[in-house]
Structure 1
Amino acid sequence: MQHINYTDARANLAALMQQTNDDRAPVLITRKGAGSVVVIDAAEFESIQETLHLFKNPVNAAHIERSLEQADRAELTDYEFE
């Protein structure tokens, strides 16, 4: 993850935002004597939120994990949707 200090982030905010959108990679903004923040692409944030929601339910999480394991073993099934 890229780190940038508050002064540089403020001076280059538009470019920092565009880079974050283009790279879909978060950027950590640090401040002297204060907490840091992370800037993240909005679509990437929504994706993370959706993933957290899906894995919040233990039954759903277990189902997803089993499905991913099956896909890793190439145990795939074709379905035709009408």
Structure 2
Amino acid sequence: MDAITYTQARKNFTDTMNRVCEDHIPLIITRQNQDPVVMLSLEDYNAIEETLYLLRSPRNAQRLLKALQAVEKDEYSEKKLIED
């Protein structure tokens, strides 16, 4: 994860935001005498929130892990979706 100073971020704010959104890589913004912050695209933030929601339930997390393991072993079957 890259890091830039608050001054650099402020000077190139639009470019900084575009970079974070296009590259899908969070950016650390350091500040003098204060804790750093992370700039993250809304799309990436929503993906993290959804992942946390899905893994919040131990039972669901176990089910998802089992499904991933099945895919890695090619132990799955494809099903056609019904189209309207």
Which TM-score band applies after superposition, normalised by the shorter structure? over 0.9
Number of residues of Structure 1 aligned to a counterpart in Structure 2:
82
Matched, 1:65 2:65: yes
Offset at 1:10?
Answer: 0.7
2:9 is matched with which residue?
9
2:19 is matched with which residue?
19
Give the aligned CA root-mean-square deviation in angstroms. Answer: 0.8
1:29-75 alpha-carbon deviations (Å, 9 max, x no partner): 01111011100110111011000000000000000000001111111
Give every structure 1 segment of 4 or more consecutive aligned residues whose post-TM-superposition deviation is greater than 3 Å: none
Letter in 2 for 1:58: P
TM-score (norm: length of structure 1): 0.95
